[in-house]
């Protein structure tokens, strides 16, 4: 059967509907589905091994911080790719910032090892079952998770640059387009 | 020699292993990464890499910059082939904003991207030669790279970190100087490149140094997320230019070279062949360069010409808005990937309609495939490990972002 | 007639030439510097181009690159130095034997460059003393050579007892070196 967004979604709903919470299509035409963290590994395993779907390649995974969505501040996105049918899809999981734990996908894909370490380093997402969840890019003794929205980009202790100059007081990214 | 049979003897000699710190600054590791190796004499038993020594927080920085100011950041990802990163980013924004780039601009982009791929592969292969002791190839090929730098300078003014192209097309048409230099390059480079090839390809010493060094099986490479020349050397012909053609790559006829067992020799040969294929693509693109505009008609993103800015009111306002970053961009998430020098370079952009991205995540191929390095060098000698690292073409800027 | 270098001031006659020791040593040192290329990022590639045949740093006497700090005179820091890298840069500087000079190539090494972020050291002069700064992102090979020539001027004119002076000791104390 030829795979496109509709047939993939139908197949998942046919065999594993309980694993999905919601689904939709992104602006680039990719199918996205969302699930809970308890069902995440089941869904990923299903997508990877099911004989018609076979999303065998994990392209990337990343976390996004939405401070306004109370209770679902951190969203982890897994992007999968099926090379044979040339179709991609996303799997999303929402986590609360108070309890950012999620099972690790390292057993399914060894490539997830460093990707998850990077998201732990940036956002503080705790991947349970990860073989070595320590900081990877930042200094080891950093005690904050710098990609979260509440942290400034600049190092507050530097003395040679003046924060009053354009765009450096931390409010740069607010939307001016109403 | 594979590492698995050697492991069973490890327990009994645990106390006699030496710990060697390879890096972060080391003459042979081209870039800043540290590997703590446990060695039994000359043989490596285990390795633990540490990266992040050049972490510049690109993803956080991108949340603070308007869309056209992010291009210089993308330059510094894989800085040996910065035009590919730039074009990938422009195409991501164009995907989100729904901009259709004219054919001429697409062909121009392809020429620039393939030139930078040649430059990147020349660095990698020349450096593999240097690490095996062959310094001559390096000196000759760097002279050829200067000619590619001259070509980039004709288009954008910079040699290395180019910030080339604009959202919606290219910043200027190819100048007469560019045409002359490109014709000269296409006429004379292949012969010089074959001289370099003949020095190493069937060289007894080089082959002894590189065959069966640092191999990785195709299945394992796929599980580790390999893409690009490293994966193709293992035998899988995944190439983003063929799988999901962008910027008119479907118009061109080129082959995707693959290797057999993913060792250093295969990686070297795959890159050599890719240089030849890139030359083929540039020839096809240049000979069939369509006439037309070199940019799309999107005044919201593309700066209007100076004559209009000085005389017309709308052009002045558009100029102001583009420079200040006040362009209206739709909300949504897009993912776009291009075939970088090292593999699938992906941009995952989430926009909330504001002047800078809400979240920009880079799918960096170097970061992803460097995880497999400990597995590739276990059981091999130290000098083989150095060669494996340089053949994987790990660029520190893309590794750490 | 090929000109090799300028003769220092002195008094000469048939078969002899008298000058001061510091001038002779300065002449020898400045034309045979052994650099340590501490290349971290993009500026490193421009350095490779400078060492290449087109711009050829070897004609300034820098034929022999030394990757061991103990054998090097000039520490060329090329590229961004992050906070994780700072202590390592300091270690390398401390291991170099006197007299030693430091050139900061590129905007990132001079002042942090375009990366005004929490993870980047805003200039290497926060950890080690610097003699010459070469701005640029990356600087063209001609600019790097210009910086090298300024270093050569410094080396040529440095008095032999400078490293024992109180001023220099004070500089090292500021950086908590020795």
Closest CA to B252 of B278, B225, B291: B278
| pLDDT tens-digit profile, chain B (401 residues) | 344 444 444 555 556 788 988 878 777 667 788 889 999 888 999 999 999 999 999 999 999 888 989 999 998 999 999 999 999 999 999 999 999 999 999 999 999 999 999 999 999 999 999 989 888 889 899 999 999 999 999 999 999 999 999 999 999 999 999 999 999 999 999 999 999 999 999 999 999 999 999 999 999 999 999 999 999 999 999 999 999 999 999 999 999 999 998 899 999 999 999 999 999 999 999 999 999 999 999 988 999 999 999 999 999 999 999 888 888 889 999 999 999 999 999 999 999 988 889 999 999 999 999 999 999 999 899 889 989 998 999 998 899 88
Which residues 32-91 of A are in CB contact (within 8 Å) with B? 56-60, 62, 64-65, 77, 79, 83, 86, 88
Q: Is A175's CB within 8 Å of B353's CB?
A: yes
Q: Is the pLDDT of residue A156 over 80?
A: no
Contact B47, B377 (CB under 8 A): yes
One-letter-per-residue 3-state SS of B157-176: CCCCCCCCCECCECCCCCCH
Q: Return d(Cα B168, Cα B172) in angstroms, integer.
A: 12
User: For residues C102 and C77, is the Cβ–Cβ distance under 8 A?
Assistant: yes
Q: B219-244 in b/e burial notation, b at 16+ Cβ within 10 A?
A: ebbbbbbbbbbbbbbbbbebbbbeeb
Torsions phi, psi of B3, nearest 5?
-85, -15
How far apart, in whole angstroms, are the C-alpha atoms of residue C120 and residue A165?
A: 19
Q: Are C42 and B60 inside 8 Å of each other by CB?
A: no
Is the N-terminal amide bond of C138 cis, ω within 30° of 0? Answer: yes
- What average pLDDT does the segment A18-26 reach? 86
C8: left (phi over 0), alpha (psi -120 to 50) or beta: beta
pTM over 0.90: yes
Kindly list the distances between the CA atom of residue B34 and the CA atoms of A142, B226, C119, in Å, as whole numbers in the listed order: 19, 21, 18
CB of A132 less than 8 A from some CB of B: no
The Cα B286–Cα C135 span in angstroms is 36
State residue B83's pLDDT score: 94
Tell me the DSSP string of B25-43.
Answer: S-SSSSSS-EEEEEEETTE
Name the residue among B359, B50, B37 with its Cα closest to residue A117: B50
| C146 backbone dihedrals φ, ψ, rounded to 5° | -60, -45
Q: Does domain A5-100 have CATH number 3.30.460.80?
A: yes
Contact yes or no for B194/B202 (Cβ under 8 A): no
| Cβ contact B223–A173 (<8 Å) | no
Write the pLDDT tens digit of every residue in B121-169: 999 999 999 989 888 889 899 999 999 999 999 999 999 999 999 999 9
Candidates B97, B82, B85, B8; CA nearest to B45 is B8
Mark yes or no for CB contact A168/C83 under 8 Å.
Answer: no
Write down all domains in chain C, each with its CATH number in brackets.
Answer: 33-157 (3.40.50.12280)
Among chain A residues, CA nearest to B356: A173
Q: How far apart are CA B243 and CA A85, in angstroms?
A: 10
Q: What is the pLDDT of residue B28?
A: 65
The mean of the pLDDT values for chain C is 90
E strands along B233-273, which residues?
none
Question: How far apart (Å, rounded) are the C-alpha atoms in residues C121 and B56?
Answer: 10
Chain C interface disruption, residue of B161, B162, B390, most C CBs within 10 A:
B161
The greatest distance separating any two alpha carbons of chain B, rounded to the nearest whole angstrom, comes to: 83
* H-only helix segments in B201-262: 204-210, 218-223, 229-234, 240-243
Query: Residue B88, SS3?
Result: helix
Chains near B, with 3+ CB pairs < 8 A? A, C
**B63, B359 contact by CB (below 8 A):** yes
Cβ atoms B352, B331 nearer than 8 A? yes
Do A60 and A115 meet the contact criterion of CB atoms below 8 Å apart? yes
Q: Which residue of B has its CA nearest to C84?
A: B53
Rounded to the nearest 5 percent, the helix, strand and coil shares of chain C are 40, 15, 45
Among C46, C32, C36, residue whose Cα is nearest residue C4: C32
Q: Which of B299, B301, B58, B64 is nearest to B166 (CA)?
A: B301
SS3 B20: strand
pLDDT at B4: 43
Provide the pLDDT for residue A174.
46
The pLDDT of residue C176 is 87
Nearest to B54 by CA among A172, C120, C62, A73: C120
Q: Residue B379: left (phi > 0), alpha (psi -120 to 50), or beta?
A: left
Can you tell me the mean pLDDT for C116-145?
92
The Cα B195–Cα A164 span in angstroms is 57
Contacts of B146 in chain C (CB under 8 A): 49, 52, 54
Question: What string of DSSP letters covers B354-394?
Answer: SSS-SEEEEE-HHHHHGGGHHHHHTTSBHHHHHHHHHHTT-
> d(Cα B191, Cα B202) in Å, to the nearest integer?
17
Whether residue A175 has pLDDT greater than 50: no
Residue C85 near residue A139, CB atoms below 8 Å: no
Sign of CA dihedral B286, B288, B293, B297: negative
Residues in Cβ contact with B77 at an 8 Å cutoff, skipping those fewer than 6 apart: B58, B85, B345, B362, B364, B395, B397, B398, B401
Neighbours of A149 (CB within 10 A): 15
Per-residue confidence band for C9, with pLDDT thresholds at 50, 70 and 90? confident
Q: Report yes or no: B234 and B226 within 8 Å, Cβ to Cβ.
A: yes
Chain C partners within 8 Å of B139 (Cβ): 52-53
pLDDT digit string (tens) for C40-53? 888 999 998 998 88
Yes or no: say if C66 and C33 are a contact pair by the CB < 8 Å rule: no
What is d(CA B225, CA A26) in angstroms, rounded to the nearest whole number? 23
pLDDT at A176 over 50: no
* Among B19, B13, B58, CA closest to B399: B58
Which of C80, C120, C138 minimises the CB distance to B160?
C138
Q: Domains in chain B, start-ordered, CATH in brackets? A: 4-50 (no CATH), 58-400 (1.10.645.10)
Cβ contact B132:B205 at 8 Å: yes
Q: Phi, psi (5° rounding) for residue B207? A: -65, -40
pLDDT, residue C35, reads 93
Residue A170 confidence (pLDDT) = 53
Backbone angles phi, psi at B48, to 5 degrees: -130, 110
Question: Does the pLDDT at position A168 exceed 70?
Answer: no
How is the beta sheet containing C101-105 ordered, strand by strand? C35-39, C74-78, C101-105, C132-134
Using a CB–CB cutoff of 8 Å, tell me whether C83 touches chain A.
Answer: yes
Give C-chain residues touching A153 at CB under 8 angstroms.
Answer: 116-118
Measured in Å, how far apart are chain B's first and last C-alpha atoms?
34
pLDDT tens string A31-77: 999 999 899 999 999 999 988 888 999 999 999 999 998 888 999 99
Percent of chain A with pLDDT over 90: 49
Q: Beta partners for B50? A: B34
Contacts 24+ apart (CB under 8 A), B68-75: B68/B166, B68/B167, B68/B301, B68/B322, B68/B325, B69/B325, B70/B357, B70/B360, B71/B163, B71/B165, B72/B161, B72/B163, B72/C114, B73/C114, B74/B362, B75/B161, B75/B162, B75/B163, B75/C42
Output the pLDDT for position B12. Answer: 53
User: For residue A177, is pLDDT > 50?
Assistant: no
Rounded to two decimals, the ipTM of the complex is 0.91
Q: A158 and C122: CB-CB below 8 Å?
A: yes
Residue B24: cis peptide before it, omega within 30 degrees of 0: yes
């Amino acid at each position: 059967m030829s795979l496109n967004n509709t047939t993939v979604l139908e197949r998942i709903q046919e065999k594993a509907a309980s694993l999905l919470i919601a689904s939709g299509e992104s602006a680039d035409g990719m199918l996205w589905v969302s699930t809970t963290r308890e069902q995440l590994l089941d869904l990923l395993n299903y997508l990877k091994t099911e004989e018609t779907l076979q999303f065998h390649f994990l392209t990337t995974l990343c976390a996004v911080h939405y401070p306004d969505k109370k209770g679902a501040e951190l969203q982890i996105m897994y992007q999968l790719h099926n090379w044979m049918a040339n179709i991609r899809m996303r799997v999303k999981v929402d986590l609360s910032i108070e309890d950012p734990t999620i099972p690790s996908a390292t057993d399914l894909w060894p490539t997830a090892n460093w990707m998850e370490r990077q998201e732990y380093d940036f956002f503080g997402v705790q991947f349970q079952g990860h073989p070595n969840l320590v900081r990877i890019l930042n200094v080891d003794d950093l005690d904050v998770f710098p990609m979260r929205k509440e942290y400034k980009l600049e190092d507050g202790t530097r003395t040679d640059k003046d924060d009053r100059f354009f765009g450096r007081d931390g409010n740069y990214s607010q939307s001016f387009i109403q | 020699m594979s590492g698995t049979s050697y492991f069973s003897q490890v327990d009994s000699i645990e106390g006699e292993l030496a710990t060697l710190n390879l890096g972060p600054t080391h003459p042979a590791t081209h870039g800043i990464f540290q590997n703590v190796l446990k060695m039994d004499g000359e043989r490596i038993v285990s390795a633990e890499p540490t990266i992040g020594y050049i972490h510049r927080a690109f993803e956080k920085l991108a949340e603070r910059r308007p869309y056209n100011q992010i291009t210089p950041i993308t330059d510094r990802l894989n800085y040996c082939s910065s035009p590919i990163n730039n074009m990938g980013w422009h195409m991501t924004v164009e995907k989100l904003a729904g901009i259709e780039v004219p054919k001429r601009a697409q062909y121009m982009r392809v020429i620039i991207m393939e030139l930078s791929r040649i430059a990147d592969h020349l660095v990698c292969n020349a450096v593999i030669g240097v690490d095996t002791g062959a310094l001559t190839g390096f000196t000759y090929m760097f002279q050829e790279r200067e000619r590619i730098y001259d070509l980039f300078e004709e288009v954008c003014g910079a040699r290395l970190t180019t910030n080339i192209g604009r959202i919606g097309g290219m910043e200027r048409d190819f100048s007469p100087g560019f045409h002359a230099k490109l014709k000269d390059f296409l006429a004379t480079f292949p012969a010089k490149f074959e001289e370099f090839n003949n020095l190493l390809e069937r060289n007894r010493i080089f082959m002894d140094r590189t065959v069966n060094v640092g191999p990785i099986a195709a299945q394992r490479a796929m599980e580790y997320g390999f893409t690009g020349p490293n994966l193709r050397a293992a035998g899988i012909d995944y190439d983003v230019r063929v799988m999901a053609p962008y910027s008119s790559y479907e118009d061109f006829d080129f082959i995707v070279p693959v290797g057999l067992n993913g060792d250093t020799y295969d990686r070297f040969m795959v890159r050599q062949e890719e240089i030849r294929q890139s030359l083929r693509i540039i020839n096809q693109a240049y000979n069939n360069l369509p006439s037309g505009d070199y940019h799309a008609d999107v005044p919201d993103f593309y700066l209007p010409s100076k004559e209009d800015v000085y005389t017309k009111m709308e052009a002045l306002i558009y100029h102001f808005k583009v420079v200040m970053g006040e362009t209206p961009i739709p909300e949504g998430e897009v993912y776009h990937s291009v075939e970088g020098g090292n593999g699938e370079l992906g941009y995952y952009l989430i926009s909330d309609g504001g002047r800078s991205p809400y979240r920009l995540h880079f799918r960096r191929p170097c970061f992803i495939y460097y995880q497999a390095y400990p597995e590739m060098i276990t059981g091999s000698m130290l000098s083989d490990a150095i060669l494996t690292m340089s053949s994987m073409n790990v660029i520190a800027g893309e590794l750490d972002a | 007639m090929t000109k090799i270098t300028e003769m220092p001031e002195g008094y000469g006659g048939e078969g002899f030439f008298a000058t001061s020791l510091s001038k002779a040593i300065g002449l020898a040192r400045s034309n045979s510097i052994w650099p340590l290329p501490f290349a971290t990022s993009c500026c490193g590639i421009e350095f490779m181009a400078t060492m290449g045949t087109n711009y050829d740093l070897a004609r300034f006497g820098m034929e022999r690159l030394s990757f061991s700090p103990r054998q090097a005179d000039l520490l060329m820091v090329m590229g961004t130095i992050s906070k994780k890298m700072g202590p390592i840069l300091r270690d390398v500087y401390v291991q170099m034997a006197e007299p030693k000079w430091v050139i900061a190539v590129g905007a990132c090494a001079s002042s942090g460059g375009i990366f005004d972020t929490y993870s980047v050291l805003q200039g290497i002069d926060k950890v080690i003393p610097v003699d010459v700064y070469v701005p640029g992102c990356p600087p063209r090979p001609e600019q790097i050579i210009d910086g090298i020539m300024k270093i050569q001027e410094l080396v040529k004119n440095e008095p032999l007892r400078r490293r024992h002076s109180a001023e220099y000791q004070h500089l090292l104390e500021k950086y908590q070196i020795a």
